[in-house]
Chains A and B, each alone.
Chain A
Amino acid sequence: MTTFLFLAFAALLTGCSLMVVLQRNPVTSALWLVLGFCSLAGIYLLLQAEFLAMVQVIVYAGAIMVLFLFVIMYLNLKHDIEDGLHHHARRIVGWTLGALLVIEGVMLMRRGWALGPTALESPNGVWGNTAAIGRVLFSRYLFPFEVLSILLLVAMVGAILVSRGTRPEGSGR
């Protein structure tokens, strides 16, 4: 049952990821990406990481992709703008990165890796998954966690500054 579900989700994820790249229309691309995120959440669920799965859907599929879609719709992009040199440069970069990824994949496959530790490290014991993540986040990884929050704050202040622009003097707000 679990194997079957894993295969189904993995196939869905692969298919969606391919469609993201192969689609011309940015909105359709974004929608396939949303479906991809949801199938990734399904794989997390099979690994008994239910907190991660839900956060994946809430944050990536529910918030970030909606903002993406918002921007795409706002700019009303119908399809890629294809123009001479720019297009060629993109094609070269794409092929190079793709080749690198294939090489990486081949090297990983040759090492004969397995699916991580087969016995789960923290089974659903006393605290459950969510509480366990909370404890680790606020003890062992406290410093990176706080640094990340400051980074986000800086980004937010920057965004506000950029979007505020310069207003003429005495224009009220």
Chain B
Amino acid sequence: MSGIVAALTHLWNMPYTPLVVWALVKCVVILFAMLTVVSYLIYAERKVAGHMQARTGPNRVGPLGLFQPLADVGKLFFKEEFIPDGANKVVFHVAPILAVVPAIVTFSVIPFGAQSAMVATDVNVGLLVFFALSSLGVYSITLAGWSSNNKYALLGGLRSSAQMISYELAMGLSTLGVLLLAGSLSLVQIVRAQEHMWFVVPQLLGFLIFMTTAFAETNRAPFDLPEAESELVAGFHTEYSSMKFGMFFLGEFANVISICSIAIVLFLGGWNGPWLPESLKFLWFFAKLGILLFFFIWVRWTFPRFRYDQLMHLGWKIMLPLAIANIVATALWVYWRMQS
């Protein structure tokens, strides 16, 4: 007994341990908070969609249908799981996991508030971590499409890999203007650089490009070609059922939240805002997040889907040159300011 206590004391006194334990606590809190937010984002989407189409949306389970997400998750867990005959079993199982994990890991670098307790980790290449994780997110859809052994799923997977690579490029370039102004890749430093002026003002073009590419990166309407139901049944997740389908759903919405958070950090001043004391600044972050998420839902139920050639045309011939022009203009401006 005393041996165990001694070993635990020794472990606790090692230099890394408090750091690791503290980081783990933050990760667990973020994980559960995000799962809750995701399930209620799905509820919000159904409710908003309903009202936009003059319906009421879910209203049966609990007051105002507020327990609908719980009922949905319970239903998904108890449904029968079906694996197609010719499917590549291992890849078929791995793909939904890959949809969820990178989306949730992104939250580990997002600064929600000014205090260190609101930032899980402040790495000095925070923005690159986000891009690395979002570039790994392509695999889930591509592999899901390929492993299902279904022609519609394969077409959806191929479309998504082409679409996400094309738009990732424009998205990466659109953030370079912000980096030039902030002079750092650390997300905390970028937010601190916006204390006096949000970067959306000098980088309006960059913000517009970022938001447009964000819709394409998260496969949401008007860029939801990988699951275009009028042509591809359900696209890459045609063959998925039960909680595996639920995980794609979860991953998509977690991606929406993470990309909105990055947009807020880069362009909308992060936790910066008037009135509130320093310790409550994180409320600003969540207020902005709420508005952006509503914007995402609003766009989905407003615009029709693009055609595939229109999508590629927009990405390569409009977004990419605009993003490069934005970088050149910003660089010239920064250079001119340094000279004078």
Q: Does B31 contact A (CB under 8 A)?
A: no
Number of A-B pairs whose CB atoms are under 8 Å? 68
Complex: chain A residue closest to B136, CB-CB = A62
Q: Does A147 contact B (CB under 8 A)?
A: no
- Encode contact with A along B118-148: 1 for CB under 8 Å, 0 otherwise: 0000011100110110011011001100100
Residues of B within 8 A of A128 (CB): 124
Q: Does A51 contact B (CB under 8 A)?
A: yes
Decide if B161 touches A70 in the complex (CB within 8 Å). Answer: yes
Query: Which chain A residues numbered 21 to 46 have a C-beta less than 8 Å away from chain B?
Result: 27-28, 31, 34
Closest 5 CB pairs of A and B: A62-B135, A54-B128, A57-B132, A50-B125, A70-B161
Q: How large is the interface on A (under 10, 10 to 19, 20 to 34, 35 or more residues)?
A: 20 to 34
Decide if A73 touches B129 in the complex (CB within 8 Å). Answer: no
State whether A73 and B91 are in contact (beta carbons under 8 Å apart), knowing that A58-B135, A66-B165 are contacts in the complex: no
Q: Does A63 contact B (CB under 8 A)?
A: yes
Other-chain contact of A70, B88, B123, B158, B185 (Cβ < 8 Å): B158
Decide if B154 touches A50 in the complex (CB within 8 Å). Answer: no
Complex: chain B residue closest to A54, CB-CB = B128
Complex: chain A residue closest to B133, CB-CB = A57
A-B contact pairs, 8 of them (CB 8 A): A31-B143, A51-B128, A57-B132, A69-B146, A69-B161, A73-B146, A73-B158, A129-B124
Residues of B within 8 A of A85 (CB): none
Decide if B132 touches A73 in the complex (CB within 8 Å). Answer: no
Residues of A within 8 A of B124 (CB): 50, 124, 128-130
Q: Does B16 contact A (CB under 8 A)?
A: yes
Residues of B within 8 A of A63 (CB): 135, 165, 168
DSSP class of B's interface residues: helix, strand, loop or mixed? Answer: helix
Residues of A within 8 A of B111 (CB): none
Decide if A50 touches B123 in the complex (CB within 8 Å). Answer: yes
State whether A31 and B91 are in contact (beta carbons under 8 Å apart), knowing that A54-B132, A69-B142, A129-B124 are contacts in the complex: yes
Q: Does B162 contact A (CB under 8 A)?
A: yes
Q: Does B157 contact A (CB under 8 A)?
A: yes
Decide if B125 touches A54 in the complex (CB within 8 Å). Answer: yes
Interface centre among A61, A62, A67, A124 (most CB of B within 10 A): A62
State whether A61 and B135 are in contact (beta carbons under 8 Å apart), knowing that A27-B146, A31-B91, A55-B128 are contacts in the complex: yes
Query: Which chain A residues numbered 60 to 105 have a C-beta less than 8 Å away from chain B?
Result: 61-63, 66-67, 69-70, 73-74
Q: Does A1 contact B (CB under 8 A)?
A: yes
Decide if A130 touches B161 in the complex (CB within 8 Å). Answer: no
Decide if B139 touches A34 in the complex (CB within 8 Å). Answer: yes
Complex: A27 Cα to B92 Cα, angstroms: 13
Residues of A within 8 A of B129 (CB): 54
Complex: A66 Cα to B154 Cα, angstroms: 14
